[in-house]
Amino acid sequence: MPVETNEERYLQKIKRRHEEIAKLIYSNVTPIEGVVMRETEGFERYDEAINAPGYKPINTGDWWGGGLNSGWFKMSFELPKSFEGKPAVALVDVGFEGLVYLNGEPFHGIETWWHKEILLAEKAEAGTRYDLVIEAMYNWAWIQSYRGKKAQFKQAEIATINREVDSYWYALGFLHALASALPEGSVRRARLIRGMNESVNAFDLDNTDEQSLKESAERAMAILKPLFDQKAEPSALTATCTGHSHIDVAWLWPYSETIRKCSRTFATALRMMERYPEYHFSQSQPQLYEFTKERWPELYSQIRERVKEGRWEPIGCMWVEADTNVPSGESLVRQCLFGKRFFMDEFGVETKVLWLPDVFGYSASLPQILKKSGVDYFTSIKLLWGNQFNRFPYSSFWWEGIDGSRVLAHFPPHGDYNTRVHPEQLILAQRNYKEKDRSNHILFQFGWGDGGGGPDRTHLENLKLAKDLEGLPRCVQRKGAEFFDDLAKEASTFPVWRGELYFELHRGTYTTQSKTKRINRLAELALRDAELLSSVAFALGSKYPQDAINGAWKLVLKNQFHDVIPGSSVPDVYVDAASDYEKAISTANDARKEAASFLASKIDTSGDGEALVVFNTLSWERKGIVSVQLPGSGRWSVTDYRGVFVPSQISKDGKSLSFTANVPAMGWAVYHLINRASEEVDSDITAAVDLLENKFYRIKLDSDGLIASIWDKCAGREVLPEGERANLFQLFDDRPNDFDAWDIDVHYIEKCWNVTDLEDITVDEVGPVYASIRLKRRFGGSSVDQRIVIYADVPRIDFITHVNWNEKHKVLKVRFPANVNSETARYEVQFGSVERPTHKNTSWDIARFEVCGHKWADLSESGYGISLLNDCKYGYSADPKSLSLTILRAPTDPDPTADIGEHDLTYSLLPHQGDWVDAGVVQAGYELNVPLFVLPESVHEGNLPARYSVVELDMPNVILDTIKKAEDDESLIMRLYESNNKRGVVTITTELPIRKVVECDLMEREIGNVSLCEGAISFEIVPFEIKSVKLSV
C-alpha cells in the first residue's frame, strides 16, 4: 500500500466526517403508514387512476412492476406536533421515476438517484394533512433484457430539515471537492484542508438533539466562512451556469413515456425555482412543451409564468433536437420554422441559439439554414465527447457552411451536458477552454438528463457556494442567450471551421433502422409534392389544406429526433414512428390527389381514350417512366395530347402499361390510353442472362451474375477497371467495440465475404421502353431478389432490390469500382454537396471511412466519372477507384431485431462524361426519388392547356425545391437553392397570377425586394445559396 501524504489522510478524515454529518440533516423522521398501490398496464390520467379499484398495501422493501406496468401509490399523513414551525419534507423512493401529486395537483418529480426530497412546507403547521399520489414507472422496461425486472419500494417517510446542518453539509462537501481537485502542494489546497479539519473538529457528533445540531453547525460553519471569502483570481473566466435537462424525445422508452418524463422534470424545475431565487432553467424542444401543454396544463401555466419572469428560458430553435445527417434540407428548415414559431407564439420569445448537445454530427448546410432562420449561435458537446481519432481543436469558433454563412459556435469545454456542479468539472471547464487567451466566457450546462430529471439540490446549493471563489471560474446563473451575446463581443478573432462538423463515432446511424429512414424520405417527398401542387391549385382558386399539412409535418419532425431516425431506440419507438409516418404520408397523398384532381378538372384533356394527366413536380423538363393499371384485356397503347403514338410496354403479367413521358418543368402533360395497337417501334434494347444493352450502354454479366463490363457507348470507353466486378454485394462482420446500434468501427473491413452465389438469373422483361433481368442470391440466412433495369430514353441503370435480411452483427454493402482516379468523392447533403477525401493520408481522412450522403455520391476524374444514386440510403464509403453504398446493418442493442425482415430499395448507377455538374447528377438524384405521377381523368375541355409548365427556371443549377403557402397570410413561399457552386442571375418564369414578389428569410419575414416583370422573377444567387421568395397571388 502506498504511503499516504498528510493531505490525503486529512482529506480522508474530512470525507468520513462529511458522511456522518449527512445522517444528521433530518430529524423527526417518521414512516408514512398505510401506503397502498396498484399496477396498471396502461397509461392512466389522475382522476381515472385514483378512483380505480385494486389498490393493495405495500411496505418498504417490497417489489412492484415488471413488464410494462406502471405503479400508482397513495399515501396520506398528518404532520405531528414535533414538526411545528420547521421545514417539513417527504422522503420518497419508489425505486425508479415518478410524478408526485400533492392534494390532486402535479407537484414534484422523484427519481431513485437524485430527487427524493419533497418540500412540503418551509414552516410546517402541525396537524396539516397531506395526500400524496405517485404515478411511477420502471423506465428500463422497454429494453427487452430488463422487461421482467421489478422496482423496489425503498422509502416513504416524513421528516424535518435541520437547515443549519444542511447548509454546513453542502459547504463542507463543496470545499472538500475543491481541495481534492486542486494540485497537491498548492497554498489554496493546504489552507482548505487545515480549515476543514478545524471545522469538523468543532462539530459535535455526540449531542444530536436539534438545538445542539444547530449550534454545532453554526460553530463549524463560522470556521469555514473565511475560506469562502477568498475570491476568484482576477483572470478567472466567467461561467454562465444554466440549469438544463436533456430529455430524449424517445430512446429507451416510447413517446408516451416521454410525456410523463416531461411532467416529472418540469414539476421538479418549478419547485426548485421556488426554493432557489437565482435558479435559471433552459429547456429546448418545443415538442416537449406541446406534450406538456396538452397533457399537463397546470404545469404549463406555471412554466409560462416563469418564462415571463425571465428565469425559465425556452431555447433551441428546432422542433426537436434533430439529427442533422439524415433529414432533408426542407426538414431542417421546418424544424427551425415550427420550433421558433412555437416559442414566439406561446411565450413571445425568439430564440437565436441552436441547442444540440447530443447530435451525431452536423451538416455543412446548417450554418446557412440557421442564419436565414434568424439563428446566430450554436452549441454542442458531442465532438468533444466522442471523437475517435482527432481532438476537435476549438471551444469557441466561427462555423462556416458550404455557402460561406457563419454562426458563432461554442462547445462547452467541460464536454458534458449531464453535468454536476462540482469543483472538478468547473476547473476542467476553465482549463480546457481553448480560447481563454482571448475570451472570458464559457457555458456550463448542469442537470441530470437523457431521461430527464434536471438539476437537483446539490447542483443549486453548490452554485450558491461557487459564485466567486478562489480556484474556480466565477459562476453566474443566467440565460444561455445572454452568454452568447457576451461571447459575440469577444468573437472577432475566433478561429473559423469550414464545412461539416463530422462526428468520428456513431457512423452506423446513417444506416440502422433502414425502414424508418426509407419512410422518412418517402414522407418528406410526399409532403413536398403535396405542398407544391396544393400551392398551384390554391393560386388558381382551390383551398389549401394548411392545418392538415402542418400536422403531417409535425409528425415527421418529431421522428427526426436524434435517437429515433438514426436508429438507436428500442423497438416500441419504431412501431410509433411507422404509425406517425404512415399518417403523414396518407395526409400528403390525400392533399396531392385533391390538388391534382382540381388541376386536372381544368386541363383540356380532349382526345381519344382515357386521359392520363402526368405531373412533373421538378423544376426542369424531364423524361421518365410512367406506369398505369390497365382496365382489362386489350391491345392497349398510348398517344400524346396531339394523338401521336408514344412507345409503350405492357408488363409481363398484363396488368399494367409503361411508357416514357416527356413532361415540362413544374407542370403536366396529357396522354391518352387507347384500346388500339400502337405503331411498330424499332427498339435498340436487348436483354439476355449475360447481357443488357441500350443506346447508352452494353452491360456484360459473368457466370455469377456480377457485372463484368459496362461499355459507355456515348463516351466510347469502359466504365469498370479490368478484372473488377460491379454490383458486388459484400457482407462484413460488424461488431463495434461499444455502441451497437450506433457504431460501425474501422475494423469492420477486416472480415469480408463477397456475395457471389447465384440461385437464379432470368430475363425478366424486354420491350421498347425498358428491359430487365432478375437475379436471386442467398447468403447466410438472407436473400436478395433484384431486377437490373435499363431504359430506352433514361441513362440510368437501376437496381430494384428486395432483401430478406436475417443476419446478426453484419453489415451489407454494394460496391461499384470505376476506371477513374480521384482523390475526392462528392456527396449530396441538404441544399448542396460536399467533397471528401477518398485516401487515408491523415487521421482526419481515416476517420471518414464511412460518411453520410443523401440521394447521390459521385466519383470523377477530369472528364469522366460514375454516380451512385439511391432512393432511401445514407451511408457511403469510397476509395480512389470505387464507391460503395451501405445497405443494411444488424445490431442487437437496444433493438434485438433491428432491421430483421423485408426491405425494398432502389439504387442506380449513372456513368457519365464530364464531372458531376456536366452530368446533371443533382437532377438525376431527384428524378430517381421524385417520379412522375399519373392521374387518370375523364376527357373534357378545359382552360388550361394539355401541356403546360407552371414554373420555369433559366439556370439548370438552381433547384426549385419547395412551394408552400405562407404561414401567416395568403402568399406563396417559393424556396430554391443553387446546387453546383456557381453564381449568376436566375430568372423564374411563371403563369401564376402574381402581384408582388419579395425576398424572405426562412421564417418567412420579408427582407428585400425582388424584380417582377411580366411574370418573370429575377434575382442574383451565389454558390450553394438558399433563396426564399414570397409571392402575393
247-301 confidence digits (pLDDT tens): 999 999 999 999 999 999 999 999 999 999 999 999 999 999 999 999 999 999 9
CB 1000 within 8 A of CB 1030: yes
The whole-number pLDDT of residue 1 equals: 37
Mean pLDDT for 726-730 is: 98
Same domain, 874 and 859: yes
Q: Which amino acid, one-letter code, is at 655?
A: K
The percent of residues above 70 in pLDDT, for the chain, comes to: 100
Mean pLDDT for 793-810 is: 98
CB 95 within 8 A of CB 58: no
Residue 233 lies in a domain: no
Helices 286-295, 255-275: inter-axial angle, 10-degree rounding: 90
DSSP for residue 747: G
Q: What angle do CA 1016, 1022, 1027 make, to 5 degrees?
A: 55
Residue 405 lies in a domain: yes
Same domain, 339 and 484: yes
| Distance (Å, whole) CA 161 – CA 122 | 9
489-544 confidence digits (pLDDT tens): 999 999 999 999 999 999 999 999 999 999 999 999 999 999 999 999 999 999 99
What φ, ψ does residue 188 adopt, rounded to 5°? -60, -45
Same domain, 959 and 812: no
The label of the residue with cell 438524384 reads 925
Q: Which amino acid, one-letter code, is at 27?
A: S
Residue 687 lies in a domain: no
Question: 486 pLDDT exceeds 50?
Answer: yes
Reference 73, options 61, 59, 83, 86; nearest CA is 59
| Distance (Å, whole) CA 615 – CA 597 | 11
Verify whether residue 961 is a known catalytic residue: no
| Distance (Å, whole) CA 677 – CA 639 | 11
Residue 925 lies in a domain: no
Give the residue from 550, 578, 600 where a domain finishes.
600
| Distance (Å, whole) CA 94 – CA 112 | 7
389-413 confidence digits (pLDDT tens): 999 999 999 999 999 999 999 999 9
Q: Give the start-end residues of each E strand in 843-925.
A: 851-852, 856-861, 864-870, 875-879, 882-889, 901-913
| Distance (Å, whole) CA 84 – CA 1013 | 81
Mean pLDDT for 135-146 is: 89
Residue 605 lies in a domain: no
Residue 485 lies in a domain: yes
Helix and strand tally (H, E) in the chain?
19, 60
33-51 confidence digits (pLDDT tens): 999 999 998 889 999 999 9
748-762 confidence digits (pLDDT tens): 999 999 999 999 999
Among 201-210, 343-352, 675-684, 858-867, the minimum mean pLDDT is found in 675-684
Give the residue from 505, 530, 549 where a domain finishes.
505
CB 333 within 8 A of CB 1002: yes
Grid coordinates given for 344 = 414566439
b/e map 764-795, b = 16+ CB within 10 Å = bbbbbbbbbbbbbbebeebebbbbbbbbbbbb
| Distance (Å, whole) CA 694 – CA 646 | 18
Same domain, 556 and 662: no
Grid coordinates given for 455 = 438539476
Reference 873, options 897, 850, 907; nearest CA is 907
Residue 716 backbone zone (phi > 0: left; psi -120 to 50: alpha; other: beta): left
| Distance (Å, whole) CA 852 – CA 237 | 38
Q: Reduced to 3 states, what is the DSSP secondary structure of residue 593?
A: helix
The label of the residue with cell 453535468 reads 419
DSSP for residue 652: T
Grid coordinates given for 327 = 433529414
Q: Which residues pair with 801 in a beta bridge?
A: 786, 905
Mean pLDDT for 721-748 is: 98
Q: Reduced to 3 states, what is the DSSP secondary structure of residue 793?
A: coil
Alpha-carbon dihedral 426, 428, 434, 435, rounded to 10 degrees: 20
| Distance (Å, whole) CA 553 – CA 555 | 5
Q: For the chain, give the mean pLDDT.
A: 96
Q: Which amino acid, one-letter code, is at 1026?
A: I
Same domain, 95 and 140: yes
Mean pLDDT for 190-205 is: 97
Give the residue from 161, 178, 208 where a domain finishes.
161
Reference 798, options 724, 711, 934, 699; nearest CA is 699
636 contacts: CB under 8 Å, gap ≥ 6? 630, 648, 650, 657, 673, 674, 675, 676
What φ, ψ does residue 963 adopt, rounded to 5°? -130, 130
| Distance (Å, whole) CA 968 – CA 403 | 29
The whole-number pLDDT of residue 322 equals: 98
Grid coordinates given for 453 = 430529471
Residue 80 lies in a domain: yes
What φ, ψ does residue 946 adopt, rounded to 5°? -70, -25
Cβ atoms < 10 Å from Cβ of 48? 12
Same domain, 819 and 859: yes
Mean pLDDT for 912-921 is: 97
Q: Which residues pair with 999 in a beta bridge?
A: 1008, 1029
Q: 1025 is in which domain, residue-wise?
A: 950-1033
Residue 926 lies in a domain: no
CATH number at residue 553: 1.20.1270.50
879-892 confidence digits (pLDDT tens): 999 999 999 999 99
The whole-number pLDDT of residue 140 equals: 86
Grid coordinates given for 41 = 398496464
CATH number at residue 123: 2.60.120.260
What φ, ψ does residue 93 adopt, rounded to 5°? -140, 105
Q: Reduced to 3 states, what is the DSSP secondary structure of residue 54?
A: coil
Cβ atoms < 10 Å from Cβ of 104? 12
The whole-number pLDDT of residue 4 equals: 60
Mean pLDDT for 657-671 is: 98
**Full 3-state SS string of 268-306:** HHHHHHHHCCCCCEEECCHHHHHHHHHHCHHHHHHHHHH
Number of domains in the chain: 7
The label of the residue with cell 425586394 reads 1009
Does a cis peptide bond (omega within 30 degrees of 0) precede residue 721?
no
Pairing assessment for the beta strands 474-477 and 238-244 based on DSSP bridges? parallel
| Distance (Å, whole) CA 435 – CA 847 | 25
Cβ atoms < 10 Å from Cβ of 63? 12
CB 360 within 8 A of CB 562: yes
Same domain, 264 and 347: yes
- List the catalytic residue out of 358, 416, 895, 961: 358
The whole-number pLDDT of residue 677 equals: 84
Same domain, 746 and 850: yes
Reference 60, options 89, 83, 39, 91; nearest CA is 91
292-326 confidence digits (pLDDT tens): 999 999 999 999 999 999 999 999 999 999 999 99
The label of the residue with cell 460518411 reads 851
CB 983 within 8 A of CB 1021: yes
Same domain, 363 and 383: yes
The pairs formed by 756-764 with CB atoms below 8 angstroms and a separation of 24 or more are 756/704, 756/706, 756/728, 757/704, 758/703, 758/704, 758/705, 759/783, 761/689, 761/701, 761/705, 762/689, 763/687, 763/688, 763/689, 764/652, 764/687
| Distance (Å, whole) CA 752 – CA 811 | 10
The label of the residue with cell 463549524 reads 220
Q: Which residues pair with 888 in a beta bridge?
A: 812
Mean pLDDT for 437-458 is: 95
Cβ atoms < 10 Å from Cβ of 1032? 15
| Distance (Å, whole) CA 478 – CA 281 | 8
- pTM value > 0.95: yes
The pairs formed by 842-845 with CB atoms below 8 angstroms and a separation of 24 or more are 843/389, 843/390, 844/389, 844/390
Q: Reduced to 3 states, what is the DSSP secondary structure of residue 109?
A: strand
Same domain, 303 and 363: yes
Same domain, 117 and 170: no
Q: What's the maximum distance between 2 C-alpha atoms anywhere in the chain?
A: 109
Reference 886, options 811, 810, 825; nearest CA is 811
Cβ atoms < 10 Å from Cβ of 991? 16
The whole-number pLDDT of residue 53 equals: 96
Mean pLDDT for 781-802 is: 97
Question: 3 pLDDT exceeds 80?
Answer: no
| Distance (Å, whole) CA 107 – CA 109 | 7
Same domain, 60 and 90: yes
